[in-house]
A and B are shown apart, each in its own frame.
Chain A
């Protein structure tokens, strides 16, 4: 750890969380034509936890993580809130150093990026330099961040990283175009893990892949995570994939988080009408075939958001209140899940539809917990 980073007083109260985001806002453009792409997002990510971010295109999910990691370029502007990354110091996992990513200087960011936070992007073909052999990518990151390593040590580490993701070492001599999509994405994952980060962010890493390859990568990711214990933010539009992979899921719509819950709770007992609609948009693999309806209408244009709840125009349960007052993301009762919907504010005059008030079965929740600890 660099001296400069250590000067910040350690705050042990936060060590449970690797990332804390508070009231975070991101805009595109300024002034009149400004579009708010991320609206008042607050979330916390525990160490070694998998946070799934689900949402459709334009929901702000990618903008959120790019802004969070300060990768967002103009005209994207962070217009409010803060992001705290609690990094552990080597050798002592109890002591953490909080870094405010919003105010961090380029120099500080350089020390954090890749060593503490790394990112895997959707298109592995575009992320790898087409004129460099894969081995060069590994050597360059190790040369920059691990200066103490000799050339042969760097090579050994590269081979080790490839083995981790199930690739043979002869891939190091290949160019990206000689590899399949799945192999390229594996290389990206290996690169992201090269410096043992505490937090890995993956933006639609499997969307461009076939379902069989996606399954292999997800299984591998689960194994790597249980072995190395990094926290993971996994962004995708595929809610059914997240339900399998994530511990906790946030669902985004029109730039805001509209529901946050444990993965199996969210699937079995969705509270927001949009979440329910998304779940019902995936045709099932079992049971009788019956007509599904999906969600009527189209995702909203962020430049012309409706007044009130942004989902109200597509919502089958919309009430008068929804059309002019936007609901806030609030905890439901005393549970630790939250939803932004007027149906769930505890108002006794509102009847919650039965499909939005199911309870999640305890047996499933138990199974999930057991899996987490293995």
Chain B
């Protein structure tokens, strides 16, 4: 697969930022506060690869996905689809929607309960210009692609008649209907039963490997990211704090937040892994200046409280936004991105 090394990213974002302005509770009406939901995020989604974004609730990972789907407009930064920069402030077009599709967390909430599955699948097809006499076959084909066989059995059912796993497959089929190049999956398995989760993950992996979709997989479950992803990105409080090709980030985490995250995952194969820094408790204000993780960081230094850390190169295709690595070369984000697709670097499962 040497072509992949030269394949340009299907969808790229550069310095994507979204700030929300909220009113401070209990203060005068004009007291405003800016929530930096996503700050300066750059990433490339490449055909045939899964990019995983890991973070806890409030880390900005869903806002990032919605900006990529152009449901939320970025405050600044640019989106580049197939090499073409999308002008700031431009309306989301049908053409964009046909190339970038979003799958949401809760399939029961994202399908209309009063319509049959047929309706959910055929409507996007009609909107995207399919001929009326073709839509049934196209809908069936989409169901087959997500292993719902035979498709006729599912077309005339209502959402409540399907299990969570089946319905999540339907919502993936609905996204695939319009033949997108990029699939954004926002926590696609967190609402599902444990025993059917792997089925969905393997489906995403298969779409990526066999149909060369570019997949963005958003999750809070770092183990599933490790299982699936060619690149893993960890977000904390709106910033990308660590990223790596393959599983380097999980195997050798460098950022203190990633280390905390990994130590917190229940791991039955290692009964001693109960380490956690925890006298302090989970509600922390994100500081205005300095490193956003500083209030929780066990290794915090003076510089962390005053200056936001730049991104440092800590390994092959592995970067960390932490002052602990200040002796390493600074990784300019734009440079780090293209070079990460080197031959043989990606570990396929």
Contacts and interface: CB of A to CB of B under 8 A. Distances in A.
A292 B198 contact: yes
Interface in B288-335: none
Contacts of B268: 239-240, 243-244, 267, 279
Contacts of B266: 215, 218, 238, 240-241, 243-244
A295 interface: yes
B349 A215 contact: no
Nearest to B262: A285
A166 B282 contact: no
Interface stretch (B87-95, B97-105, B151-159, B270-278): B270-278
Interface string B27-65: 000000000000000000000000000001100000000
Contact of B227 (A212, A283, A296): A283
Interface string A287-324: 00111111110110000000000000000000000000
Contacts of B267: 240, 244, 285-286
B247 A289 contact: yes
A225 to B, nearest CB: 14
B198 A293 contact: yes
Interface in B142-189: 163-166
Among A57, A210, A212, A290, the one with the most B-chain Cβ atoms within 10 Å of its Cβ is A212
Interface in A235-262: 237-241, 243-244
Nearest to B25: A178
B281 A182 contact: yes
B220 interface: yes
Interface in A178-212: 179-183, 186, 210-212
A88 interface: no
B81 interface: no
Contacts of A279: 268
Contacts of A296: 199
B193 A216 contact: no
A100 B271 CA distance: 38
Nearest to B263: A215
Given A238-B194, A243-B266, A284-B223, A291 B202 contact: yes
Nearest to B165: A298
A282 B221 CA distance: 10
Nearest to A274: B195
A211 B219 CA distance: 12
A41 interface: no
Contact of A211 (B194, B227, B265, B281): B265
26 contacts: A57-B164, A210-B57, A210-B282, A211-B220, A211-B221, A211-B265, A212-B260, A212-B264, A212-B282, A215-B264, A216-B278, A219-B276, A237-B194, A238-B194, A240-B268, A244-B266, A244-B274, A282-B223, A283-B227, A283-B228, A285-B226, A286-B270, A290-B349, A292-B202, A298-B166, A368-B271
Interface of B: 56-57, 163-166, 193-199, 201-202, 220-224, 226-228, 247, 250-251, 260-271, 274, 276, 278-279, 281-283, 347, 349
Given A237-B193, A286-B267, 9 more contacts: A180-B282, A219-B278, A240-B266, A244-B267, A281-B194, A284-B223, A290-B349, A291-B349, A295-B195
